Structure formats: C-alpha cells, structure tokens
Amino acid sequence: MAQVKYVFVTGGVTSSLGKGIISASLGKLLVARGLRVTIQKFDPYINIDPGTLNPYEHGECYVTEDGAETDLDLGHYERFLAANTSQKNNVTTGRIYNNVITKEREGEYLGKTVQVIPHITDEIKRNFLALGHNGDFDIIITEIGGSVGDIESLPFIEAIRQTKWDLGHENCIVIHLTLIPYLKAVGELKTKPTQHSVKRLLESGIQPDILVCRSERAINNDIRKKLALFCNVPINSVISSIDAKTIYDVPLLMRKEKLDERVMEIFQLPIGEEPDLENWKEFLTRLKNPTKEVNIALVGKYVELHDAYKSIAESLIHGGARNECKVNVSWVSSEEIENENVEELLGGHDGILIAPGFGERGIEGKITAAKYARETKIPFFGICLGLQVAVIEFGRNVLGYKQAASTEISPNTKDPIIDLMEEQKKITKKGGTMRLGAYSCRLKEGTKVYKLYKSEEISERHRHRYEFNNEYLEKFESKGMVAAGINPDSNLVEIMELKSHPWYIGTQFHPELKSRVVEPHPLFVGFVKAAVDHRIKKEKNKS
C-alpha cells in the first residue's frame, strides 16, 4: 500500500481566515487531479462534539451519513469534494480526553502517570492517522481549529510536530494560513503579524512548508520575497489568497497560485495533467451569469448569525445556479412575525423557507408564516421544524384541531400532532441521542417530490427527536396534505406535501446536508424553480 500523505492546515494572526475553504479548495484541486482525498477537522474545545452547542456560538451543526454531529466546515468539505465524511472526520479535544480517560479507567495505562505528553498527544496522533489505515485515501488534509498560539491548541500542534517527525517531510506538510493586513494610512501590506505567527510555530518545533496569505489586495513580489526570507520558505511556497467574491472562486484562485502543484512537488507525486475542473467552471459560469432572480425569505430564529443556516444558504446558491437564477435571501426573524405584519414581512417574496430549530421561541411566528404561504400560494419549503410547524398549522386551521401542537412545546396538548418518537421516550442524555444520520425514505408516485428526485427510494439525513403522529395521517390526507415520503422500515412520515398548492413541501430530514456544488439537491433546484415560476406569474398578473 502506498504511503498516505498528510497535509495539516493551521491558522495564525486571527481566526475566521477561512481555513475550511482553503482546505476544501486544496482538496478539490487534488481530487480533480485524480487523487483520493478526505478532509478532517480537529477542534480544540472540550465538548465531545458540537451537537450540544448553541448555533449562535458555533454556527450550524453539520450531520454526516453515519449520524455524527460535526463542525460546519465538514459541510464545506462535502460540498466541495462531493464526497461523504464520517464521525472520524471531526475530532475535538473533548473526544481525545474522553478516550484517554476511558482507557485509564479500563486499566490500559496501569502503573503509568497519564499525561498530556505522551498520552494525549499519542491519542491525537492515532486519530490524525485513523482514516489512512484502509487504503481509501492518497492524501488526508487535517484542518486544525483555532489559531496557533492559543493555549488550548498546544497539544494538537505538538502532535503535528511529532507526526512530521514520524512520517518525514515528504509525507507530512504544514500549510499555515495567515493574514497580511493592509494599512490604509501608509498604503502598505504588512508582513510582521505573519512573521510573528510563524515564529510561534517555530517555537513549537514546526517549520511551515507553505504559507497561504489572506489579504484584501494582491501581494506583490517584494512582499513574497520578504515573507520567504523571514519565514524560511521558498518563494513559490508563498501563496496569495486574495478576498474572493464567492467562496466557490477559491479553488480556481488556488490553482492560479499553484497551491496544488506545490503540495504535490513536496510530496514527490507526479504532477501530470491539468486538474479537471470543467463541472466546477460550468457551475461558476451559471452562478455568475444569472438570467433571472428571486427573493426568498428564510424564516428562522438564529437569523443574526448566518452561519447558523450555512448549508441551507449554500444549497440555495447551488439550486439557484442550476436555474441560472440569482437567489436573494432575506433573513426573517420568526419572533417578529405576527398576523398583523406577516404580509409586510413576507409578501414581497417568491418563496418562503422555514428553517430547522429547537424549543418554543419563535414557533408561533413560524406557524403564521406557514399559514401565509399556504393561503397565498407562495412556494413553501419547510425543513425539519419547518415541516412540523406546517402540519401544526394545517391541523389547527384546516382540520380544526384547535390545540394542535408539538409535545416539544406543549407536552400536555390534546392534539399532539407532532410527538416524541417512541425510541426517544426513555432518553435523558442530550449529546448524540437524537435520530441522527441517513435513513431511507420511499416516495409516493405522482407527488411533486417523486418527480423531483426521479426515484422511488431515497436516503436523507436527520437530526430530530419529534415526528409526525401517524394517528392523524388519514385526516390530513383526506384534506389534501399527503405523506409523500415514508420511511419503509419504521413508517415514519418523512415528507408532507400539499396537493392544491404550486409548491408546498415539508421534509422531516435535512436535504441541505446533501447538496453539492456540482450536484445540487433536487429539492433546492425545484424550490428555486417554483419561486421563478411564482415570480413570472406575479409579474404577468400585474401587467
């Protein structure tokens, strides 16, 4: 078996430089050269996984096929590479310590004092290499969360130093992503913060192999020379990463800077032909040359932080590009929506999407939005909680169940139209205990979703505890809200669809987790198309 090559991506100077996008872009270029690549993220916080984190703190929680609750960067990896990740692709300090402490209790270190070095670092190293054992990958990219110099990332940095030593330079490299700030007053780009950040890495025994320099202006040759000189890297390993209009430009920008070639050269891999980026470029052409536009209202309760709905926002971009349509998203706070202002807040839109969520806050506003979409025939897309509020609304206002509710919010309601799943009833722990990951779903012939997926059996990812209560199904179907998708094993309703509406679809699963740049999700493509049709109709009626 050929030696697996490891790329570590660290960040310096400041956070939010886009390590995830750089990692995903490098991954994309290497895949386009025919290499087998996966990307993993190591996060320095103590939570076992981000499943218990408030989206306000950390953005959305991304869910993999195997049901791992992970960092949102894994979404970028999957969208860019069009490949699945798994539990193994996201490891936190919490998980590392948990493993070590479990081993200690099992007596594995008997007699030894368990310490950060070597026990924690050994466990980190074991996890760094874990995906490399089955011969599935040629290159494994590991993004390290946080910035170099943070106290909490020190064990990761030490583990990288050791891994580099164990595997050798030609099998293990470090790419350091830094910021080159532009000082307006003097009209200059400044390299000093990067020099300091590289010194920090050197103090920990790591010489970065490649520098990727984020800046708002292009860095010229003098700056490259200076960085090369002070940071001990060859000049062609100083890569400029200028602010891009869209994250989807970054792979092409990195190609221009030859980041992929540099990595392959150091790894002594044959460079071969140009990477095949045809599909990617076609996507970009469509994205940048829209022939129409639509306004979509994204109704949620975490709207101040757009990262909380990252995958939905990206899926709308993918679906828009496929339709050659610019999608303008207005972020509408569900807490503000009331009967009196719903027309004003949502009226101008060509589509309404109700986002996933937990708990009571903002739920009545979401129900009002669902009612408005149903009555005005604006295309409606409800995801997870978005489906749940749509059926509650239908239950209350069409079927006459005045107390229709979810037991998540009203545990003693007379009409528990959304109720806790049987297997959830005994669960008390919060972390990793929802219905998580991929489940199959059978679609009903003749429904809109059946036409969109062009398939009878699909598989989608879940993250919820509550479900549609099947005792009410007959009543719903008799009035035109049909179960268009059902889990063939458990009979759980996975999709509801309103017959007498141009496009009113709610899914219990999260389709946004499976949309890829070159394979947009059929429901997002369909939703944007419905919004386009709605807009055309609206304009016709006006004239």
Question: Footprint of ligand GLN on this chain (CB under 6 A)?
Answer: 356-358, 384-385, 408, 463-466
Q: Is 510 a known active-site residue? A: yes
Complex with ligand GLN: residue 138 or 314, whichever CB lies closer? 314
Residues 6+ apart with CB under 8 A from 22: 9, 175, 177, 212, 241, 250, 254
Tokens describing residue 152: 């909490």
Q: Is 512 a known active-site residue? A: yes
- Least Å from the CB of residue 299 to ligand GLN: 12
Cα–Cα–Cα angle for 159, 164, 166, rounded to 5 degrees = 90
Residues 6+ apart with CB under 8 A from 63: 69, 70, 436, 437, 461, 462, 463, 510, 513
CB atoms within 10 A of CB 401: 19
- Least Å from the CB of residue 388 to ligand GLN: 6
Residues 6+ apart with CB under 8 A from 532: 292, 294, 323, 325, 350
- Least Å from the CB of residue 156 to ligand GLN: 30
Contact predicate 287/298, CB 8 Å: no
Complex with ligand GLN: residue 306 or 465, whichever CB lies closer? 465
- Least Å from the CB of residue 445 to ligand GLN: 28
Complex with ligand GLN: residue 43 or 408, whichever CB lies closer? 408
Residue type, 191: T
Which stretch of DSSP H or E encloses residue 537?
helix 522-542
Cα–Cα–Cα angle for 68, 56, 82, rounded to 5 degrees = 40
- 3-state helix, strand and coil shares in percent for the chain, rounded to the nearest 5: 45, 20, 35
How far, in whole angstroms, is CA 514 from its chain's centroid? 9
Contact predicate 143/23, CB 8 Å: yes
Question: d(Cα 489, Cα 97) in Å, to the nearest integer?
Answer: 37
- Least Å from the CB of residue 328 to ligand GLN: 24
- Least Å from the CB of residue 359 to ligand GLN: 7
Q: Partners of 329 in the beta sheet?
A: 296
- Least Å from the CB of residue 451 to ligand GLN: 25
Pick the catalytic residue: 314, 512, 521, 534?
512
Question: d(Cα 167, Cα 209) in Å, to the nearest integer?
Answer: 15
- Least Å from the CB of residue 287 to ligand GLN: 28
CA distances from 202 to 43, 158, 208, 262, 480 (A): 21, 11, 8, 21, 66
Complex with ligand GLN: residue 238 or 434, whichever CB lies closer? 434
Cα–Cα–Cα angle for 34, 242, 73, rounded to 5 degrees = 55
Complex with ligand GLN: residue 200 or 463, whichever CB lies closer? 463
Complex with ligand GLN: residue 97 or 358, whichever CB lies closer? 358
Pick the catalytic residue: 61, 325, 384, 441?
384
Buried b (16+ CB within 10 A) or exposed e, 458-492: bebbbbbbbbbbeebbebbeeeebbbbbbbeeeeb
Q: In terms of Cα–Cα distance, which of 310, 408, 426 is closest to 358? A: 408
Question: d(Cα 32, Cα 192) in Å, to the nearest integer?
Answer: 35
Residues 6+ apart with CB under 8 A from 448: 484, 497, 503, 505, 526
Complex with ligand GLN: residue 264 or 384, whichever CB lies closer? 384
Pick the catalytic residue: 119, 349, 510, 521?
510
- Least Å from the CB of residue 463 to ligand GLN: 5
Buried b (16+ CB within 10 A) or exposed e, 259-292: bbbbbbebbebeeeeebebeebeebbebbeeeee
- From start to end of 69-167, where are the E strands? 69-70, 90-92, 139-144
- Least Å from the CB of residue 364 to ligand GLN: 15
Complex with ligand GLN: residue 356 or 526, whichever CB lies closer? 356
Residue 250: CA count within 13 A, CB half-sphere: 23
Which stretch of DSSP H or E encloses residue 55?
helix 55-58
Complex with ligand GLN: residue 40 or 311, whichever CB lies closer? 311
DSSP 8-state code for residue 497: E
Complex with ligand GLN: residue 80 or 466, whichever CB lies closer? 466
Q: Is 423 a known active-site residue? A: no
User: Catalytic residue positions?
Assistant: 384, 510, 512
